Chain A
Amino acid sequence: MSHKAAIPIGPYHPLQEEPEFYKLIVEGEKVVDVDVRIGYNHRGIEKISEAKSYDQSLFIVERICGICSSSHPIACAQAVEDIAKFEVPERALYIRTVCQELERLHSHMLWLGLAGHFLGYNTVFMWAWKYREPICDIFETVTGNRQNYAMHKIGGVRRDIEKEHIPYILKRLDEFTKQLNMLKGAVLDDPVLHERLKGVGVLTKEDAIDYSALGPTARASGIDIDVRRDYPYAAYDKIKWNVITLEEGDVFAKTVVRILEMFESVSIIRQCLDKMPQGPIDSNPKDIPPGEGIGQIEAPRGECFHYIKSDGTNSPMRHKIRAPTYMNFPTFRETVIGETISDAAIILAAIDPCYCCTERMLIVDDHDKQVMGVFELIRLSQEKTARIKDRYALS
């Protein structure tokens, strides 16, 4: 009974965006080892950034990840502000907070939809993406674009939130909250999802600390960290909100953390729009002295870390970028091993790997002969849900 088979997953998947390549080593149904090959998306952004001026590098980092195109520019701007000790006007801080939380809403919604698809709940997928649209509309109102907002600059923001837009934003947020409540009920009260997700892919607290896991992945494992509270930036220290932490560490806990976080985000946006002071939105900084700076930010997936070294010229000498998935990803070694293949797809998706990859999962035998495709793997996952549904006589 030591017949091991390798399942290559990737690098391309129709529903997930970024390509990545996994190799699951399985023994029967059980996953015994995992390996991953990334690099299908490596574009050398850190090197390009060294040849751009500080203002231009914000546009580069915005294009690191389409989902986090507000987080990376803020982190980069904060790193530069840390070098030069620039003051950012208060109104700009509030606008940054609004953008950050809108981004969290749209990112978590997107994740929820894709997780639903993996489990065979295509209705959840369609709903979640439909309910994400109000957020895109708000983004379009606030920043002028649905994605790639070009909103942030060093020392402030580029665009103001107009007074006449605020009623519209609040109205769309109301719509969104109503739908979110419904979705929350649909997910949290479903006995099938409880059975399917509880106890699956557990990341223990010790492992989470050892791997320095971040964001919802860490908070679902009982680690109480949140950059928004621990390293206060933007306007988070002027607003009341809660950090959501759960102890279980399984896929269900990660889902719950994300859903509850969305309610916090809505509340943060409302408070920001309410409290936002009048005033300038940009401090127009000029020279950037030599030195080193660090910018940290809580992106939807966890802490986003930018280190910039300046040599006094108008472009960075070194710009190191660490996205949250970089730390969360290696935890799949702890969570996937020992689980069945039909759970692998959702466990890999549970860390929200900046949505990378699971296309063309092929089950191959020892001689690399292809037996099974990616759809098979998602199908396995969906069939397992269907079996549980049958048991509950729901389908």
Chain B
Amino acid sequence: MTIDEIIKNISDRFQSKILNINKSSQKRAYLDIYPKDITEIARYIFKDMGFRFNTASGVDDFDALEILYHFSHDRSGIVISLRAMIKDRQDPHIDTITTITRSAWWIERELHELFGIEFNGNSDLRPLLLPDDWPKGVYPMRKDFPQPKRDSRR
């Protein structure tokens, strides 16, 4: 399968649910979607198209919180990333994908902890990395958390 076939396959099926397609190379594509469609599209990519779930990366984009779900297609060496933009920074939430693949178990705990994103339907959002006495409502990976000092000698 080539990347164009994969993109066509996904966009034919979901049509207007795919907001934007950015094909950065023959091996990589970034698809923008609404957060509410994540389970539907992720299920199709993981279960029906046989992709492997790599990980999800949270990005603080200042005006929105992004989650990128990376999926790999091992037979063709293609990585597709679904980008869900969560506009509400005060109370960000998105549906869980642990119902589709249990490999998202830890990464959702991590995103909950470091970005403060709620995953609807995931009952196991206990802290994973930070100490137990970490203050509530402080999310270290957000940009408003003090950035480490930059090295002045460069």
Q: Do chains A and B touch in the complex (CB under 8 A)?
A: yes
A52 contacts chain B at the CB level, 8 A cutoff? yes
Question: Which residue among A211, A320, A326 has the maximum number of chain B CB atoms within 10 Å of its CB?
Answer: A320
Distance in angstroms between the alpha carbons of A20 and B150 in the assembled complex:
31
**B101 proximity list for chain A (CB < 8 A):** 210-212
* B 118-154 contacts with A by CB, 8 A: 127-131, 140-141, 145, 147-151, 154
Interface size range of chain B in the complex: 35 or more
Given contacts A211-B102, A212-B53, contact A307 B68 (CB under 8 A): yes
Distance in angstroms between the alpha carbons of A98 and B30 in the assembled complex:
32
**B53 proximity list for chain A (CB < 8 A):** 212
**B72 proximity list for chain A (CB < 8 A):** 231, 296, 303
Q: Which single residue of chain B is at the shortest CB-CB distance from A317?
A: B59
Distance in angstroms between the alpha carbons of A212 and B69 in the assembled complex:
14
**B141 proximity list for chain A (CB < 8 A):** 46-47
B102 touches A330 (CB 8 A): yes
B130 to chain A, nearest CB (A): 6
B79 contacts chain A at the CB level, 8 A cutoff? yes
Q: Which single residue of chain A is at the shortest CB-CB distance from B105?
A: A330
A137 contacts chain B at the CB level, 8 A cutoff? no
Given contacts A210-B101, A211-B103, A230-B77, contact A56 B129 (CB under 8 A): no
Given contacts A50-B147, A211-B103, A305-B54, contact A230 B75 (CB under 8 A): yes
Contact partner of B154 (CB less than 8 A), chosen from A39, A53, A232, A309, is: A53
A82 contacts chain B at the CB level, 8 A cutoff? yes
B88 to chain A, nearest CB (A): 20
B79 touches A296 (CB 8 A): yes
**A48 proximity list for chain B (CB < 8 A):** 148
What total of chain A residues lie within 8 Å of the partner, measured CB to CB? 41
Chain A 287-322 interface 0/1 with B at a Cβ cutoff of 8 Å (1 = within): 000011110100000010101010000010110101
A42 touches B130 (CB 8 A): yes
A305 touches B148 (CB 8 A): no
Contact partner of A231 (CB less than 8 A), chosen from B27, B55, B81, is: B27
A225 to chain B, nearest CB (A): 5
Given contacts A46-B141, A307-B57, A318-B59, contact A51 B24 (CB under 8 A): no
B52 contacts chain A at the CB level, 8 A cutoff? yes
Distance in angstroms between the alpha carbons of A293 and B105 in the assembled complex:
24
A185 contacts chain B at the CB level, 8 A cutoff? no
Distance in angstroms between the alpha carbons of A296 and B70 in the assembled complex:
12
Distance in angstroms between the alpha carbons of A209 and B70 in the assembled complex:
15
Distance in angstroms between the alpha carbons of A318 and B64 in the assembled complex:
14
**B54 proximity list for chain A (CB < 8 A):** 212, 303, 305, 322
B52 touches A38 (CB 8 A): no
Distance in angstroms between the alpha carbons of A286 and B97 in the assembled complex:
40
B52 touches A225 (CB 8 A): yes
Distance in angstroms between the alpha carbons of A56 and B127 in the assembled complex:
30
B74 contacts chain A at the CB level, 8 A cutoff? yes
Given contacts A39-B128, A210-B101, A230-B75, contact A294 B70 (CB under 8 A): yes
Contact partner of B148 (CB less than 8 A), chosen from A51, A53, A309, is: A51
A44 contacts chain B at the CB level, 8 A cutoff? yes
**A330 proximity list for chain B (CB < 8 A):** 102-103, 105-106
Distance in angstroms between the alpha carbons of A322 and B70 in the assembled complex:
11
Given contacts A38-B128, A39-B131, A322-B54, contact A51 B140 (CB under 8 A): no
Distance in angstroms between the alpha carbons of A342 and B27 in the assembled complex:
45
**A326 proximity list for chain B (CB < 8 A):** 55, 106-107
B28 contacts chain A at the CB level, 8 A cutoff? yes
A372 to chain B, nearest CB (A): 25
B90 contacts chain A at the CB level, 8 A cutoff? no
A293 to chain B, nearest CB (A): 8
**A210 proximity list for chain B (CB < 8 A):** 101-103
Given contacts A51-B149, A225-B52, A322-B55, contact A42 B129 (CB under 8 A): yes
**A50 proximity list for chain B (CB < 8 A):** 147-148
Chain A 44-81 interface 0/1 with B at a Cβ cutoff of 8 Å (1 = within): 10111011110010000000000000000000000000
B15 contacts chain A at the CB level, 8 A cutoff? no
B25 contacts chain A at the CB level, 8 A cutoff? yes
B111 to chain A, nearest CB (A): 10
A230 touches B74 (CB 8 A): yes
Contact partner of A51 (CB less than 8 A), chosen from B25, B27, B150, is: B150
B25 touches A212 (CB 8 A): no
A226 to chain B, nearest CB (A): 9
**B131 proximity list for chain A (CB < 8 A):** 39
Distance in angstroms between the alpha carbons of A306 and B25 in the assembled complex:
17
Given contacts A42-B129, A53-B154, A82-B24, 12 further A-B pairs with CB under 8 A are A38-B129, A50-B148, A51-B147, A52-B151, A82-B25, A291-B24, A294-B28, A296-B72, A305-B54, A320-B55, A326-B107, A330-B106
User: Which residues of A are interface residues toward B (Cβ below 8 A)?
Assistant: 37-39, 42, 44, 46-48, 50-53, 56, 82, 85, 209-212, 225, 230-232, 291-294, 296, 303, 305, 307, 309, 315, 317-318, 320, 322, 326-327, 329-330
